[in-house]
Structures are given as structure tokens and as C-alpha cells.
Structure 1
Amino acid sequence: MRSLFYFLLSWPIKMLVRCKILPDNPQESLELENDKSVFYITRHQSASDLLTLQMTCKKLNLPDPLQVVEINGKQFNRCLCLDKPSSVLPWRKVGDTLAIEQGQALLKHHQENLEEDAKLVPVNIMWGRAPHKEKANVGTVIADQESPSWFRKFWIVLFSGRDTLVRYSKAVSFREMVEQHGSDEVAAHKLIRIARFHFHRQTIAATGPRLLGRQQKFTALFANPSIKRVIADEAKAKGLSEDEVKKQALGMMNEIAADYRDSTIRLGQRILKWLWNRLYDDIEVKHGDRLRELSQAGHEIIYVPCHRSHMDYLLLTYVIYQQGLATPRIAAGINLDFWPAGPIFRRAGAFFIRRSFKGNRLYSTIFREYLGLLFSRGYPVKYYTEGGRSRTGRLLQPKTGMLAMTIQSMLKGIDRPLTLVPVYIGYEHVMEVASYHKELKGSSKQKESAFGIVKAIRKLRNYGNGYVNFGEPININEFLNNQVPDWKQSIDPIDPPKPSWMTPAVNSMANDVMREINKAVALNSVTLTALVLLTSERHAMTREELVEHLNFFLDVQRNAPYSEEMSIPEEDGEALVEQVIKLNKVDIKDDKLGQILSLDENASLEMGYYRNNIIHAFMLPSLLCRLLKSYEKSTTEDLVANLSTLVNLFKAELFLWQDKQEITAQVEGLLALFAEQNLVKQSKAGYWSIIDEHEQGYKLTLLASCVSETVQRYAIVMKLIGQLQPVSRSTLESDATALASRMSTLHNINAPEFIDKKAQSAIINALREHEFIYSDDNGSFVATASFADLDQLIRDLTDDDVLQSILHS
């Protein structure tokens, strides 16, 4: 009868249920040996759950969960269920399942048969992703999932079946359970208790904590002691009544607060899935398993991505949802709060932030406490430390306000670990690139509007691939334990102070975040092609040359990667060229000898943006090639010493991460690659030199050119310091920018960051931080004793024609 019931029910289940299975390749992570060794454990002894499990197992070629397994003459149910469905009649009690008895029987069997080692696979089946609400409504009562009756399960399957998440977890070994905990009833109870807690954590990670309505948030904020105090102070200072100030505060809360709706997320992910299929060939995601592990461990996740495009908001939220996790509350600029985008973003979890809090104590307090409320309630959060979208393609210097408020929230005594997850987001095409160049040339930034959305939609086309790489998480608790061992002494649940260690700790954390973002860089066809063509003469190459150089650049990263976190294309140079041509990123000219691929002036400006996405990853290899070209003979120790000086100097601007040990390892890997390809040789005395610059050395020449503009900017600043010292910051920055502008004209350097005043300032800061210059009593910069050696090194690495122009200007 049960088999007939399951057979009849399987048809509507097939029609009504659509599953998202996690992880993407569970077979690999489960490492199962044979059918008999596989058992499953689920939350509910429900026919719809078991049939859904059966459907996904069939899709994954895993054993049927409804089968009975016979081992050594004993029969075992393949699936253990924790809870029976509750009764439709509230006064009728439902008994326990046989999970404990089944678990104990399997443990005893392993105790008696030492050669057996069955695996237990936890499978969490979640119908829909709606979070529980603080106040129940009709929908919550009907579709309650704690232990639903058949009547409630009917509505759950009907309304949420097409949004079902099936998550397979790492298999548990019965052999290890027996060896560690025995095989008695206590061990069986422990097994079931662990499984129950495991499923609870997973469910919270997927749906998020209980949902507070906007009005409930406002009530909580008005009850906050800090906000009460600032309202009273504002009323007294401005001669207003507290009710009038409260009205202002309520207006600010309405301006800030999200209005999260699960229905918006569900509809949005369907629309975005359709949109991504039209816009992108693929969305590549790396290290998504880190997010699930953090959520499973009870961490409060704070996503900190780089900011390339308005697409970032949508893409990252979509990817997080597809990873089976609750979507974050997103800090968005107030410029995006326009109709109709603002209300939609707000319902998708966006809360809005003004560009400046300066002089508005009431607003800054409300925003800080709103952020603290999100953390204390356990909501995942996403904010951008760059503050805005990068117009150059490089990471911007971080703005530390949100990180400071995050730590201030911790000083109120949040009891769960807060963890920052740096995220690298990359594209083969960024739709705003053209407007970025207009802004860099002096055009005013266009205000976001509904008309702008319509205009952008009309321009939508194939954008190639998108990339979302989750970097190494930074546990804020552990970070503070290392940086400020006594930080917990500053905890105050009511009014935490701003301790003296706050600013340096926040600055250090911000730089760590940016370095981790850059470590997770994703190389792709457009960024690599941009890097190669923009360093070539006249920005043109034959197709064969371009393929050869792309393969060489790929070899460099595959043999001595910038970091283990990065993504490197699996394709070869020929496939990358085909992708770039498909995206219409290069001009193609055919002649009798083949194809020539080139960039015109406008394309060069656009491709400069993509080159800057990855330039940091090739900084060390490029500097190494430049040293090999500048000095005929160098030992490995000489190369490492010079590279350590240069990398440390460039770190602040490009957020490089390598220390001397890592530099040594990468140099050795690169030299081994160059030697294998007959580009360099090492003498018996240990000196490295280029074999033949005309035969194969042009590969090293092109790679060395990647760092040309950075070296030239340092040469400009250092020449002025040597010539004008003591020199004030304002004069140095102004003269450096003017000289850079001249070099840009003389040598056809069209990178916007080359003549950017902020870029010159970053160089000055790096020279001062590493004590190559210092400020005298008048605040002017003067060179230190070590300045001359660095100046000579930079001159040796600068192209002769550019150096002569700099020295004679």
C-alpha cells in the first residue's frame, strides 16, 4: 500500500517541485564507495520530502532512499527521519520516529562488524526560503514548516514547491561514530541531536533570522539608549521639543531602513536568472563553500565586495541566493533611492546611506544603531568599503566608516562572531565604462534616474562572462584579538567609547580586506587581452603573436600564481582571442598574411579599465622581468631584495600582499618557468641573465612593460623631490601632476590614473611611510639617506626615452 501511495504521489511531486541542489557536485564531496554503504537522514518523515529526496538522488545517480538495505543478513531502512508530521487535530499527539532505534542498530552493527564502514548523509529539504516573522500571519500558520501536518504540507508544496532547496552535507562515518562515542542508546541520541542542530543551523543560514517589520525596527531604535540621548541633546541644543526631534528621527529612519519582502527576492531571482542567461555566457563562482561553512558555524557574515558596476548589487545578491544562503541587507547610496528602483531595492533588502554624515549627529547615530540592530539580530549585511564604483578599474582607497561602525557594534557585546567576506567581482564587459571615461575627463556624473534605467536596458547585449570569487574570510574577533588583545575591556552595552586603538585597527582591517579582494582576482579573456595589447607597440599584434603572449601570461600565473585564491582560465590563448572577438573588443584587419588585432583610441581607453582590474596580479612578474632587463647579471638574492623593496613600496597603492617569503617562492617559480622556456639562464656562479632578447626575449620585454607607467610615476615624483626639497605637499602634488601630464602627451600615455592627483599623493604617502622621505619642522618633505639608492633603482627600471624626458623637464 505504501509503494502504491508513493507511486501515485510521485506524479504531482514531479510536476510541482523544482529543486536547487547544493553543493553543485555533491557526489565529489560525499566520497561514497558503494550503494550499501549509503544512508540518509532527513528532518521529516514526510512522503513529499522522501519523494523529493528520491527524485534528487536519481538525478545525482545516488542510491534510492526508499530502498531497504540488507547487510550481512540484516535489513535497514536507508533513510532515517527525525520527526513525524504533526496531526491535523491539535489535541492528538504524534509519536516519535524510529530514528534512534535505527541509528543504534546501525551503530551496534558496526561495533560487531569491524570491516563495515557505512556513511550517513544528512539531507536538508527546505520548501521555500521565507524567513519566520516575529508576528505570525495567516500564511505562516497554514505553511508552518516546523513539523507540518499533511494539510499544511499540501499548501507548502503547492506554493513553495518550485523554490525547494535540497542541501546534501558531508557524509558522517558510522565507523568513526562507534570509535569515538560507542554504540549504546546514548550514542544514538547524540547522533540524532547533532543532526537536529545541524539542520537547524542550515535552515537559519538559508532563510535568515526572524524577520522584523519596519515599524518593529523603528520601535527598537527609539528604545535604544544612544538614540534617546541624542534626541534629548538635539532638542536642548536647538530649542525644540523632543516630539519634534523624534519626528525628524522618524523621517531619517524611513529614509534609511530596508523593507525586506521575501516575495521580492523570489520574483527577483527568477527575473535575474532570465536576465543573466541573456547577458552572460556564464557566471563563474569560486569558494561558495566558504559561505556555507561560515553560516553553518553560526557566523554573522558581512560581505565586502569591490565595486565595478551597478550590476554588482544584483549579481552578488543573486549568487548568494543560489548558494543556498539568506540574501544580505545591502548598504546602498542614497542616489539609488529614486522611483521605481528605490522601492524595489528597499524590498530586496537595501538600506540607504547618505554620502556624508558630517555635522549631523542625529543621522549618524541613527544609522550606526540601525547597523548595530542588523548585526544583533543576525542579518547578513553587505557594504562597499570603496564607497563608490571604481572609474579606473583599480581598487579605490577604502573608506573606513562602515568598518568602524561594525566594530562599534561589537563593542556593545554582540555574542556571535562577525566575519568579513571579501568578494572580487569581475566582468568581461562593464556597461558603465564609457561614462566612466567621460567623468575622468571632467564631465559631471550623471544622476541616476528612471530614464537612465530605460536607456541602459536598451543597450543590453551579450556581456561575456561574470565572475564572483569569495576571498579568505576575516574573523573580526580574531583580528582584534591579534591587533588589540585587550579590546574586550572597551565593551559597554549602553554607550561604548571610541578607544584610541580604533582608528589604526580599522585602517589595518580595511587594507586587509582590499588585499584579500585582490588576492581573489579573476583573470579572463578581456582583461588579459587588454594587458597584452596595451603594453604592445601601437596597441596592435598579429593574431598569432597575441595567442602566443596570452599563453605565456597564462603560464606565468599557472606556474607562479599571484595567490591561491585567484581564478585562472582553463582555456588556451586561441580560445581567449575568439572570446574577445565575439565580444567586439578589438578591431580586426585581414591581409594576405593573416589577421591583425588592434585597439583604436576609444577602445584603448576602455580596455585600460579592464587591464587595471588585474594589473596587480602581474606586478611582481613584470618587475622581475624589468630587473632582468636592466641588470645583465643578478643573483636570486639580488632579485628578491630589489623586489621586496619595490613590492613593499607599491603595496599601499595596488593592495599587494606578498611578504619576502612569498616573493622568494614566486621568484623561484618564475625563474624556473623562464629557464624551462629558454628565456633565461643561470651561470655556475648563480647569476641570472636573459638568453637572447631578439629570439625569445620579446616575451619578457612585453611582460616587463606592464609595470612601465607605475615606475614612471615614481620616477617623476622622486625627480621632483630630489630637485625641489624641501618641498611642500601641495607643491609636490601639483608639480608631479603637471609633469605627468606632459609625459602623457610626449609619450602617448593615455591611462587616466597616470595624471591623477590622488595617484601622485599615494606615491608620496608610500615614500613617507617607508621612510624614504620625512617632514621637516615646516611640514615640507626632505629625502632621507636611503632615498638615493631607491632613486637609482627607479631610474634603472625606467625606459631611457621617458627618463630623459623626465630629467630634462
Structure 2
Amino acid sequence: MAWLLRILSLFTPLLRWPVRAWINTHASPSDLSELALDRDKPVCYVLPVASVMDWLALEAVCAERGLPRPYLATHGMPSTQRSMVVALPAGRRGERSDLHRIVSRGLHDHSYDVQLVPVSVFWGRNPVKETSLFRILFADSERTGRLRKLLIVLANGHNTLVHFGQPLDYREFVDEAESAAPDLMVRKLVRVLRIHFRRQRAATLGPALSRRSQLINSLLADADVQQAIEDSARREKMSTDAARARARDYANEIAADYSNIAIGFMLRVLTWLWHRIYDGVDVRHLARLRATTHDRREVIYLPSHRSHMDYLLVSYILYKEGLALPQIAAGVNLNFWPVGALLRRCGAFYLRRSFKGDRLYTAVFRAYVDALIQRGQPMKFYPEGGRSRTGRLLSPKTGMLSMAVTSALGGKGAPAAIVPVYIGYDRVMEVNKYFDELRGTRVKKGESMGDLVRGSTQVLKRKYGRVFVSFGEPIDLQAYADTHLPDWRERMPGLDMDARPDWLQDFVAGLAEQVMESINATATLNATGLASLVLLGSPQKAVAEDEMVGTLALLAELARRCPYSRDATAPELTDGRELLAEAEPMMRLVRVPHAWGDVLTVESRQAVLLTYIRNNVMHLFALPSLVANFFAHVESCERQRVLDGAVELYPLLASELFLRWPADQARFALNESIDGLLACGLLSSDGQDRLQRPQAGTREFAALMSLARIMRESLERYAMTVMLLSHNRESGHVERGRFERQCQLMAERMAILTGRNSPEFFDSRLFRNHLQTLVRVGLLHPRGSQLEIDPALRDVAEHALQLLGADLRQSLAHLTSLPQLDDGSDGSASSVETSNAAE
């Protein structure tokens, strides 16, 4: 083949332009700077097979993206002036390949170095098994004849992916095996490259997919499904055939039906849509994700869920970046005509909101998950179970995760990696509906084609800013199990389908918590989120422009000096005015002109909508804000006292915001936050362990007060919870459901008294979460439906109240002196006495 390439190289000018006019190439990675090519070293591209068409596709991408042009390796060597392309040898005995010459040169000339860049060219992206004559002729394959290659290019040239692997360290490879014979070294290099190309093909296309009918038949043949069919027939007194027909209906309702044509259609639609409604998609940590997918392990994507766009966005990014499409667990509410069928052909499989009571459905669904994991098919589902209506991460639902874990650890598939994914928006298109639902003015209902058409006409009229997608640190599931469940190899295999032992529930719950913490750990702090934090923290949702500019600059500096995690992204802009200019259109700020400078504010409803954006990123400042609250009402305080008080309150904060530090590391993390505040001038030290806030009137003082207000509402909720609990200390217990309702009613009243227009302030789920946290830290002890109160809760109540202003302490004291309304079930009332801590 090499001689043919050299002959054809004479006709390159005649071939290049027709081929380029026909094919449409995409490069992976999209940001080729990830390759980190050294322009002072020669480049040699390596193809898995010798192919004129692959070479021309590579040349087209190199010309478009400014990479060194790939010349055919004749008898010369790659140089800084002339890069070359070679192919792996076909394996014929006695053949002296171009790689052999390059390796021999390195053995004889120790100063010679070259960057070997493996390149994979994919004509089309269809992972379905070749089961028809059409697919046999036109589907891409690793090795093809010349005529079939031409047919493949004609059929799939419009969708050609050229993937560049990381350059191999040629000099290190040669030096390590200097004493070996050139032939042996070439065979070793070829073996390494073949493994790379095989793994890259699997990472790009995913496993070969069976026809849907074959998959459904295999599900019905599963032993657990067969048993469930027999049990259903016996329990419901129906024939086995009728039960099997029901199981087949379930399988048809669940299973995806991958179609390359549908994928191509959606790719064009989504490319147009993203450019229409968004100003760009900012993607982070793709290089790490590629390394994970290249390890030939099962990949399970667990993203945050804030919009219906999430379903499409992550898959779109993965496809554009040359990674295999995952199958996506979607709620059955999305399975309406014609969207349901289209999403199914793009990899969606459907699940019901609840499996309870239907063992047959559970068996079929579990068998489907087992099948996906067994063949190494990437999966994606949302650990929260539904879209967040407040912008905060929701408490995870563990049903789907439990199925995936038991399948992956039960010996039914390859080693699995869980990839948390953060998704954030400058503006979420459904946010108006979310807050209407929180207020109770809109009832959540199922989706329909009519809703889609009406919603689309509104969506396409607006711009929603930028989208931020960040792939978190992968969690090696086996390594995690080795640490947290050392005997999993004995427990997991053969686990009964209906079994939910306590040890499994605890293990999955702990894993789910880590996933949520990892999602938050990779968040992106955008200008809109930062400006929303500042504006919504001002007492009247209004702030002078110069104060806003100064505070934005200082908080952005704090985010860089004291990053939440190594994966969290601080704003790229450093100037406060630039940050404000970027955020202002999305926030729809209203400028009130004044002789001493403009005042920035927003309309009442818009302020409510901005809380969603604020809640996406507020956890990034949780610890600095907690520290700042100790200086909201005092000028100075001992560092040790601040640390002791903050450590006591940290578990509540961590539970609400899924903060990444375990309780035993909170003091260390808080110390780092104090150091960051000192470095930014937001606090100062007298050198004797006493901290002092800036002088009033300075921009640092304004920034510190704005920082403190970020966590203020959370601290108020904590104070309400522990204060109400402390009033019940004489009885020693409370009824859980009734107490949650009391907390919600108290928060509603506080919102009215303080002029808040924030439905999430009295979200009952937050108070429920607080109680669960108090149980975990030992301040409450569950006794059936009752919660027994620990005496130490009184100290927590006092410390929480000390962070609040006198006006809020007075309001809480007044409210707790009134009879509290019950949950409304029987019209009774309960008496709550006044707290000494609030006096």
C-alpha cells in the first residue's frame, strides 16, 4: 500500500479539491491546543491503516486548523520544515516500514526527536452491528478494500471525525529500549499504537449495538425477568403468555432505538439552536474525561438537572468532542409524540417515576440496565430525579444509582467510572415556571406537543447568555467500594433483585452524596452569578454602580486566591466594570440616574428570578461568607472564636449546599478561607490572633458585608429551626411532620415581615434537610415519627442567633412567643415559649 500512496501523491492536487468539496470534517479535540505540540520539533502523524482518503481528511483538518501539513513519508524523515504521515505496517514479513526508518534514526542519532501523533479517522459514527447489506457496504470499518472505502466516503463523507491523540514521547521510548534491535522496538511501538487505536475506536463509537428486537428478546430471556413473569402470572391469575406480552410491552416502552439518521438530524438542529439562543457553550475538563473514556471502562454520567436543555446539551457536547453517545434515562413524561420517538432514536430510554408495586416492570428495567453495563454502553441519568426549581442541587434519589451500582459491582460489566457533571446557565429558560410552581400559582403538569410548540415560540425570541458545562473528577466505582465497602466482592454477586439491605442503602447514599459534592466542586462562577450574589445581598435589591464595580472585583479576586476546589472556575475577567458589563444584559438591570452616580436595581419579579442564578454558585463562597457573618455586627473577633463558631454551624451549611469538606476537615478549610480574606484585604489581623473588619465606607467593607449576606438567609433558617427545637426541650421531643410545617409557616411569616419576595426561603425541603442533618450530627434522635431533642441543641441555637442582627432576633423572639399554627390537619395549635437566647 505504501507504494500506491507514493504514486497517488503525484496526483494529490487533482484529488485534494474534489474530496475536500465532498467531505465535512470535524476535529477532536475541538481545542487542539490540548495536544501541546512543540513547533520546534518535527511532527509525524500516524494512521492505523494506509488510506489515501484518511490522509486527505487529515490534510483538510490540518489546513483548516493551522496544524503542520502532513506530507507522505517517501524516503525522507520528518523535520521542522516538513511534517509527515505514516501508517502502521500491514504485518507482511520482511516489510521495512516508514516507522522502522524513524526508529532506526533515533537509535543512531541521540539528538533526533519527533512528535508521533496518532490520528484516527472515522467516516460516520454508527455503532450498530453490520446486519444488512447496506450497512456492510457503507458503514465504516477498520479495514476495508479500496472500492468499499470509496463507497464509505461517498455515504459518510459529510460526517467525518478526525481524532488526534496525545503525542507519544518518542525520545523516551527509544532511550528506554536502546539496547534492543530496531525490529523489536518497532513491533513494540506498533503494539502500543494498535492498543491506542482500538481503545480510541471504542471511546468514539461505543460498543457495537444489537438490533432493538434482539435486545428486547434478550431482556425477556433474562432469568430474573422470567421469574417475574411467572410470579405475575400466578399472582394476577393470568396466563404466562399474557404476562410475557406485558413484559414485552414494558421492554418496548423502555428501550432506546439508536438511529444514525436521527443523530445527524438532531446535530444540525441543535447546532442551529445553540447559536440561536445562546452566546456560547463553555466546556471544562474534557482532557480528563477523554483519558477516562480511553481506559475502556463503563462511564456513567451524572449531571445536575436544571433545564430540559440538559437532556440534549451533554450528548451534543460529547458527540462534537468525538466521544461515544450515552444512553439517557428520561422520564416517561417526555415520551409524547413526536418528541418521544425522536429522543428514543437519539439514545433515550424511558423510566417511570415510581416502580413501587410492579415487580415485573422493575425486573425488565433492571435487566435493561444490566445489559447496558454488561456491554460497556455509556449511560447518563440525573441523580436529583427531577429539575431543580430553586437552582440548588436537590437531595439525590438513589433508586437508579443503586441499580447501576449493583450491576457494575456484581460482575456484570467492565470497571465503571462515575463522572459528575455541572451544568449552569446565565439564564434558565424555564425559570418563570419554576417560581410560579414554588408560589403555588402554577400546577406542575406533564409535557405535551402543544406545550412544546407554545414554549418554542417564546424561547426562540430571546437570548439566554452562555452555558457552562464542567466534567468533574471521575469516581472509580471499584476503588470507592474498596474504601467504603471492603467486602463488596463477596456481597454484591448474586444479590437478589428485590434486596435492599441496610449496608447497600448506606453505601449508595454515601456515593450519591459524594456525587453531589463533586458536581458542586466543578462549578463555574460566571459574571451573571457573581453580580446576582452582590445585588440580591443588598437590603433593597439596589446598589450604587461604583460599589457594585468594587465588590465584583474583590469577590472575583477572592475566588481566584481562595478557590473552592481545584476544578472550580473563577471568572476570567478581573476588572469590575467588565464583569458588570457582561452581566448587565442577562440580569436586566435598571439604571436609576443620579448626580452622584447611577444606582443599579431590578424589578421585583426579576429579583426573584435572579435568585435561581445566585443559587447555582452561592456554595462557592459559603465558607468565606460564614466567616464574614461573624463581623456583620462586631468590628473585631478572635480568630479561634470565629473558627469554633463556624465549625459548629458547618454541618448544617454542608448539608444544604453539598459542600465538599468532611466535618473533620472543616476547621482546615475555614482557616484557608480566613487567609484568603486577609490576602484580599477584606479582613486584617493585629498579629495576635485577633481579626478586624475594614473601616466603614471603604470598598473592602462594602464587599465584606455583601459577602456576609450570601449565607444570611441560610443562617436565618438554621436559627428558626434550632430556636423552635430549643423551645420544645422541656417535652424533650417533637413530631417530625408537624414540626416541619411549623418551620415553614414561621419562614413564610418572616419573609412577609422582612419584605422578602423569595419563595425558596420557605421551601419545606430545606427544613426537612436541616432536620436530617441534625439527626446525623447527633442533636436529634429519631424515635419513630418523633424526634428526641439533645440538650446540646440549646448552645447551637444561641450561637446561630448571635450572627443575626438585633432586628431579626427581635422578630424571631416575637414569633416564637405566639401560638404556632399546626400543619392544618386537625386545626390544633401548639404553644412555644420565648427563647432566653433571643432576649
TM-score (norm 2): 0.91
1:59 alignment counterpart? 64
1:772 alignment counterpart? 779
Q: Is the 8 A contact 2:298 2:413 kept in 1?
A: no
2:510 alignment counterpart? 508
1:488 alignment counterpart? 489
1:712 alignment counterpart? 716
Alpha-carbon distance in 2 for matches of 1:13, 1:665: 60
2:793 alignment counterpart? 787
1:752 alignment counterpart? 759
Q: Is the 8 A contact 1:775 1:782 kept in 2?
A: no
Shift of 1:711: 0.7
The one-letter amino acid of 1:467's match is: F
- In 2 relative to 1, CA 679–390 (structure 1 residues): closer, same or farther, beyond 3 Å? closer
The one-letter amino acid of 1:340's match is: P
Q: Which of the residues 558, 561, 566 maps onto 2:560?
A: 558
Q: Is the 8 A contact 1:521 1:566 kept in 2?
A: yes
1:110 alignment counterpart? 106
Which stretch has the larger CA shift, 590-599 or 283-292? 590-599
SS at match of 1:466: strand
1:458 alignment counterpart? 457
Counterpart check, 1:680 vs 2:680:
no
- In 2 relative to 1, CA 579–807 (structure 1 residues): closer, same or farther, beyond 3 Å? same
Counterpart check, 1:651 vs 2:650:
no
The one-letter amino acid of 1:447's match is: G
Q: Is the 8 A contact 2:409 2:478 kept in 1?
A: no
SS at match of 2:257: coil
Per-residue CA deviation, residues 317-376 of structure 1 (Å, 9 max, x unaligned), is: 101111211111110011111111111111111111111111111111111111111111
Map residues 312-711 of structure 1 onto 2, 5 A cutoff.
312-442=310-440, 443-459=442-458, 460=460, 461-492=462-493, 498-571=500-573, 572-583=575-586, 585-630=588-633, 632-659=635-662, 663=666, 667-695=670-698, 696-711=700-715
SS at match of 1:80: strand
1:728 alignment counterpart? 735
SS at match of 1:583: helix
Q: Which of the residues 2, 13, 23 maps onto 2:8?
A: 2
Q: Is the 8 A contact 1:99 1:192 kept in 2?
A: no
Shift of 1:524: 1.6
1:125 alignment counterpart? 121
Shift of 1:493: 5.8
2:821 alignment counterpart? none
Shift of 1:313: 0.6
Stretches of structure 2 lacking an aligned partner (at least 5 in a row): 1-6, 816-839
- In 2 relative to 1, CA 777–30 (structure 1 residues): closer, same or farther, beyond 3 Å? closer
Counterpart check, 1:801 vs 2:802:
no
Alpha-carbon distance in 2 for matches of 1:514, 1:661: 19
- In 2 relative to 1, CA 100–487 (structure 1 residues): closer, same or farther, beyond 3 Å? farther
SS at match of 1:805: helix
Q: Is the 8 A contact 1:428 1:526 kept in 2?
A: yes
Alpha-carbon distance in 2 for matches of 1:232, 1:72: 68
Q: Is the 8 A contact 1:119 1:171 kept in 2?
A: yes
Alpha-carbon distance in 1 for matches of 2:362, 2:503: 21
Q: Which of the residues 737, 742, 758 maps onto 2:744?
A: 737
- In 2 relative to 1, CA 274–662 (structure 1 residues): closer, same or farther, beyond 3 Å? farther
Shift of 1:498: 4.8
Shift of 1:515: 0.4
Alpha-carbon distance in 2 for matches of 1:602, 1:750: 8
Shift of 1:596: 2.4
Alpha-carbon distance in 1 for matches of 2:739, 2:752: 20
Q: Is the 8 A contact 2:302 2:419 kept in 1?
A: yes
The one-letter amino acid of 1:284's match is: D
1:248 alignment counterpart? 246
- In 2 relative to 1, CA 320–791 (structure 1 residues): closer, same or farther, beyond 3 Å? same
Alpha-carbon distance in 2 for matches of 1:566, 1:99: 52
1:88 alignment counterpart? none
Alpha-carbon distance in 1 for matches of 2:183, 2:128: 34
SS at match of 1:808: helix
- In 2 relative to 1, CA 10–76 (structure 1 residues): closer, same or farther, beyond 3 Å? closer
Shift of 1:254: 1.1
Alpha-carbon distance in 2 for matches of 1:121, 1:514: 37
SS at match of 1:501: helix
Alpha-carbon distance in 1 for matches of 2:96, 2:714: 66
The one-letter amino acid of 1:464's match is: G
Q: Is the 8 A contact 1:338 1:450 kept in 2?
A: yes
Map residues 31-50 of structure 1 onto 2, 5 A cutoff.
31-35=37-41, 37-50=42-55
Which stretch has the larger CA shift, 145-154 or 432-441? 145-154
Count, aligned residues: 796
- In 2 relative to 1, CA 278–777 (structure 1 residues): closer, same or farther, beyond 3 Å? closer
- The Cα RMSD (Å) is 2.4
1:292 alignment counterpart? 290
Map residues 192-231 of structure 1 onto 2, 5 A cutoff.
192-231=190-229
Per-residue CA deviation, residues 367-409 of structure 1 (Å, 9 max, x unaligned), is: 1111111111211111011111101111111000011101221
Shift of 1:113: 1.9
Q: Is the 8 A contact 1:647 1:656 kept in 2?
A: no
Q: Is the 8 A contact 2:69 2:83 kept in 1?
A: no
2:97 alignment counterpart? 101
Which stretch has the larger CA shift, 495-504 or 173-182? 495-504
SS at match of 1:210: coil
Alpha-carbon distance in 2 for matches of 1:791, 1:100: 80
Which stretch has the larger CA shift, 22-31 or 386-395? 22-31
Shift of 1:663: 4.8
Alpha-carbon distance in 2 for matches of 1:98, 1:545: 77
SS at match of 2:157: helix
Q: Is the 8 A contact 2:26 2:61 kept in 1?
A: no
SS at match of 1:162: coil
Q: Is the 8 A contact 2:120 2:164 kept in 1?
A: yes
- In 2 relative to 1, CA 629–250 (structure 1 residues): closer, same or farther, beyond 3 Å? same
The one-letter amino acid of 1:552's match is: L
Shift of 1:730: 2.6
Q: Is the 8 A contact 1:132 1:140 kept in 2?
A: no
Alpha-carbon distance in 1 for matches of 2:243, 2:34: 59
SS at match of 1:629: coil
2:144 alignment counterpart? 148
Q: Is the 8 A contact 2:298 2:414 kept in 1?
A: yes
The one-letter amino acid of 2:341's match is: P
Shift of 1:686: 2.1
- In 2 relative to 1, CA 776–58 (structure 1 residues): closer, same or farther, beyond 3 Å? closer
Alpha-carbon distance in 2 for matches of 1:105, 1:262: 41
Per-residue CA deviation, residues 482-511 of structure 1 (Å, 9 max, x unaligned), is: 111111113436957655421000000000
SS at match of 1:298: coil
Alpha-carbon distance in 1 for matches of 2:587, 2:263: 34
- In 2 relative to 1, CA 544–289 (structure 1 residues): closer, same or farther, beyond 3 Å? same
Shift of 1:302: 0.7
Per-residue CA deviation, residues 393-447 of structure 1 (Å, 9 max, x unaligned), is: 1111100001110122124412411111111111111111111111111121132
Q: Is the 8 A contact 1:419 1:474 kept in 2?
A: yes
- In 2 relative to 1, CA 399–28 (structure 1 residues): closer, same or farther, beyond 3 Å? closer
The one-letter amino acid of 1:131's match is: P
SS at match of 2:564: coil
Q: Is the 8 A contact 2:128 2:211 kept in 1?
A: no
Shift of 1:56: 2.3
1:261 alignment counterpart? 259
Q: Is the 8 A contact 1:328 1:349 kept in 2?
A: yes
Shift of 1:76: 11
Alpha-carbon distance in 1 for matches of 2:66, 2:389: 48
Alpha-carbon distance in 1 for matches of 2:671, 2:727: 38
Shift of 1:184: 3.0
